[in-house]
Every structure is written in structure tokens, then in C-alpha cells.
Amino acid sequence: MIRRDIEPLLKRAASQYPVVTVTGPRQSGKTTLCRKVFPKLGYVSLEAMDTREYARSDPRGFLAEHADGAILDEIQHVPELTSYLQVEVDERPDPGRFVLTGSQNLALTQATSQSLAGRTAMLNLLPPSLGELRRFDDAPEDLLTTLWTGAYPRIHDRGVAADRWLTDYITTYVQRDLRQILSVGDLDAFTTFLRHAASRTAQEVNLSSLGADAGVSHNTARSWLSALEASFLCFRLPAWHRNLRKQLVKAPKLHFLDSGLVCRLLGIQSPDQLRHHPLRGAVFESWVAAEIFKVRTHHGLDPRMFHFRDAKGLEVDVVVEGGEEVFLVECKSGATVAEEFLKPLRRVTELVAGTAEHRALVPRLVFGGETGQRRRDVAVIAWTKMGTVGWDG
């Protein structure tokens, strides 16, 4: 298993809190990470039905068997166990005593926030960033293969065919688990919704349009999209309007977290097909946004990510508010940089520079080429260097 960037943050949290909760999408590597970082802790999976029933029917007896601490995997199956954990760690608040892992959903979030408030650190583990992915021996080297394959670690660690694995992932997790969370009865409608949502990656969210195309109501589309977001399959970037006098479009922008999953939902069968696909640029933009999201999340930072578009159509794909800097990011999947690609960055920089309150502005263009450039006031960053330029500000 590769080293994950979140490891120092995880160890630090375990030295300060009696409970550490690691959430994230299924198959992002949570179990492997926690067993590697905490080899002396016992391990219990609540995925098994008999263990789950034991924990649910006799929580005190279950925890008594693990009085010295344990990794409790897939805790979302028994969220009520957190109430009994509260009593345990209040009586014996040893740092790092329990490590909980679980696929993010509303029940788990509510349970931990209510029962373990002040007692647990909450960390999110996402699929590997590009920098982490390159630690696998056979990681893809070209852009299109990287986008098409995606970043779920089992694909790269086990050498599993990406299209086959992602198809199974959609069937066993997205369609099964999320349907249970949402009590969805119509599999066809939910699958259609997923595909239409994927076709809107890197676009502003219009729930009425999305629902109509998927054959469901506006409210159903809202509920289903929120569940996808809570499960870290996608995320939304709100509009950025930091002290701008100009009228801005306020709709958030949708991005899927894994480009391979998007390609599979769109029916893209190979990297070469992606090369000529009309949504190649959107897939690349979402990949760039997801890379920034992962890097900031795995270093314990609030993503603080937005998009910019005013009423006249002036756009910047991603805006990142760092500590002392604001990164303005344009994304272009081609390997050639045209001067016109830089115009939106320069125009928005001029607009924001004239406001009363702002941080230092750092315009960047991320493109599909292999070698970066410096164009006067804009840094042109090769896709291969996404993880090395720094996004903390």
C-alpha cells in the first residue's frame, strides 16, 4: 500500500483525541490506511452481519471486548454505537483509543456530531491525488489514461481492469448502498439520474433541468444529488463573489470527484475515445478541481473552493481561497496554450484588484501539456505538476 498524504494528520489527531473518525467514499483506502498507521489496535469490521448484530443488540458487551481500543470499520452500519462510545471514552479518555471508519452518509455524520462532539477528530480520506497515485508501481503516465482510469486505489494496487472495476463499483455501491440510504425503489430512474449528473460535471447545477432529464421531480433531484455529495462522489463549488460590485451568477458548479467514474457513467470505453469525446474538457476541469480538493483535504485544510461567472459571461473555472492568496484557475485539456486562454484570468484579476478587500491574487492556467511556462503574469502549469505547485496559499 502506498503512503498517503493524510498520515501525519491522522497520527497527530490520534495523539490529541480519544476517538478519530475517518470518513470518505467506499474503496478510498480507509481500512488499509488505518490498519497500517495503527497496527497495535485490534480490528473489527461491522460489515459482517453477525458482528453488526452483536454490536447493535449488546453494545456494552461488544465494547467491553475491545476495552483497550480498536479500529471499528464501517461504523455507519451501527451509528447508535457512538452513544455508548461516548460513555467509554469519557471514563477513559486515552488518546487514540478508538479509530472509526465509515462511508460518509447523513446518519454517520449526525451520530458522531451528537454523541462524540469534542471527543473525536473528523478526517476525510478521498481517492489518491496525482502525487499519491504516482507512488504505485504501474500508475498511468499519460493524461488521457490517467483521466479514464481514475484514482480508486484498488485499481492500481491490484492491477484490476479499470472499466470492469468501476462497473462493479457503480453496481455494488452507488446503486445498492445509496438506494438503501435514499429508499429508492426505481433503479432505472436512479441510474438515469446518475448518468445525467455525470454528463453535467463541470457545469452549473440546474436541478429543474437535471430532474426533468432524469424523469424525477426537482425535490427528488435535490435529495439524490445531496446524497451523492454526502458520499463524496461529487461536490459543488459555490459562486465566488468576494466584494465584487458586478452582478454575479449564483448557481453552484458540479464536479465529480473521480474522473474514471465519470467516464464509466458516460459510457466512454477507452482513453482514445475520451480524446475525441465532446466532454473531454469538462472531465479534465473536474479532474483539476478534484485534485485541488484532495490536496487541501488531505492536508487538513478547508477546501474553500468556488467558481466565478458574472452576468456577462466572464468566467474562471476554479477560485481557491488560501491563507494569504487567492488562486484563480483556468483549465484547458489541450497540450497547446493559446494566448486567449489567459484573458479571463487577467480580466478577473483586474476586477478583483479594484475592490476594497482582497488577498494577493495568483492566476494559474492548468493545461494538458507536459511542460509548464511563464506568460508574463500567469503561471502555466502542466497537468503532471498539479501536486507540486502548492494550493495552501
Q: Where are the domains of the chain?
A: 7-124, 130-385
Task: List residues bridging with 360 in a β-sheet.
Answer: 325
Average confidence (pLDDT) over 186-206: 90
| Neighbouring residues of 107: CB distance < 8 A, sequence distance ≥ 6 | 76, 79, 181
Radius of gyration of the chain, Cα coordinates, nearest whole angstrom: 22
Q: Which of 235, 301, 280 is nearest to 25 (CA)?
A: 235
| Contacts of 204 by beta carbon, 8 Å cutoff, 6+ apart | 249, 251, 252, 253, 254, 309
Cα-flanking dihedrals φ and ψ of residue 50, to 5°? -70, -40
The runs of H, that is alpha helices, within 173-279 are 177-182, 187-198, 207-214, 218-230, 259-265, 271-275
Q: How confident is the model at residue 356 (pLDDT cuts 50, 70, 90)?
A: very low
pLDDT tens, position by position, 228-276: 888 889 999 999 976 555 556 789 999 999 999 999 999 999 999 999 9
What whole-number distance in Å separates Cα of residue 113 and Cα of residue 110? 5
* Per-residue DSSP letter, 191: H
- Location of C-alpha cell 483506502: 29
In the chain the beta strands, taken as DSSP E runs, fall at 19-24, 42-45, 70-73, 98-103, 120-124, 203-204, 234-237, 253-256, 305-309, 315-321, 325-332, 360-367, 373-375, 378-382
Instruction: Write down the mean pLDDT value for the chain.
Output: 90
Dihedral sign computed on CA atoms, order 123, 331, 191, 189: positive
Return the closest-CA partner of residue 37 out of 1, 78, 77. Answer: 1
How many other C-beta atoms lie within 10 A of the C-beta of residue 323? Answer: 9
Q: What totals of helices (H) and strands (E) does the chain contain, helices first? A: 18, 14
Distance from C-alpha of 295 to C-alpha of 298, rounded to nearest angstrom: 5
Question: Which percentage of the chain shows pLDDT scores above 70?
Answer: 91
Using the predicted structure, report yes or no on whether residue 106 has a pLDDT greater than 70. Answer: no
Q: What pTM value is reported for the model?
A: 0.93
CATH superfamily of this structure's domain 7-124: P-loop containing nucleotide triphosphate hydrolases (3.40.50.300)
* pLDDT tens-place string over residues 36-69: 999 999 999 999 999 999 999 999 999 999 999 9
Q: What's the half-sphere exposure (Cβ side, CA atoms, 13 Å) at 226?
A: 9
* 271-292: average pLDDT: 98
> For 336, phi and psi rounded to 5 degrees?
-115, 135
Look at residue 58 in the predicted model and tell me its pLDDT.
97
342-364: buried (b, 16+ CB within 10 Å) or exposed (e) per residue? bebbeebbeebeeeeeeeebbbb
pLDDT at residue 175 greater than cutoff 70:
no
Q: How is residue 235 annotated by DSSP?
A: E
Q: Which residues pair with 330 in a beta bridge?
A: 365
Mean pLDDT confidence for 340-344:
93
Q: DSSP readout, 99-122?
A: EEEEE--HHHHHHHHHHSTTTEEE
Eight-class DSSP state of 175? I
Residue 278 CB contacts under 8 Å (≥ 6 apart), including other chains: none
Q: What share of the chain is helix, strand, coil (3-state, %, to 5)?
A: 45, 20, 35
Top mean pLDDT of 7-21, 167-181, 376-390 is at 7-21
